[in-house]
Chain A
Amino acid sequence: AQSVTQLDSQVPVFEEAPVELRCNYSSSVSVYLFWYVQYPNQGLQLLLKYLSGSTLVKGINGFEAEFNKSQTSFHLRKPSVHISDTAEYFCAVSLIYNQGGKLIFGQGTELSVKP
């Protein structure tokens, strides 16, 4: 079975500081990888995805993530955060062979950016 672990439930950080949100996955088959963000009272919005190719993926709002197959990780990074980045961040995987494309989510990481 596949699983996704987000190692930090909450990450407080000061504005303009760098941040890394960690995500590890477990799967015996190849997966696609995603990061979604959820702002208060809104749905989940795709930040970025890794399907194939370059392991460094750039997304919206200045976020990027690096796929590391040997460590089965897909950590999300931003060099300088803003107050508006305060939100819940979800890492997810989808099995490549699964045409239905269901997403398997991690527990979420609450990013809190303080002035």
Chain B
Amino acid sequence: ETAVFQTPNYHVTQVGNEVSFNCKQTLGHDTMYWYKQDSKKLLKIMFSYNNKQLIVNETVPRRFSPQSSDKAHLNLRIKSVEPEDSAVYLCASSWRGYYAEQFFGPGTRLTVL
């Protein structure tokens, strides 16, 4: 099956802990993204990588760090989570370029207590 896969589906943790989310795509794309969807369902870009190179880095707190081992994998680490980090984190992939349809994974829902 060709798609975008994310693990875990859900994660509950306490303030100050570190969490990591994984994303893998089997679509053969060269660009991957992390988006955050907040409690009001607003979706915003966080990062994008092209062939392991960071190409978009929006205004995101420094406790967030993306990690790419190859063009098919893009993980997201959050050091010392805060309550406002509670959200759904969506991974996506596409070919690089202005005219490139993006495909999304099912998301990881993070709850910070």
| A, B in one complex | no
A→B interface (CB under 8 Å): none
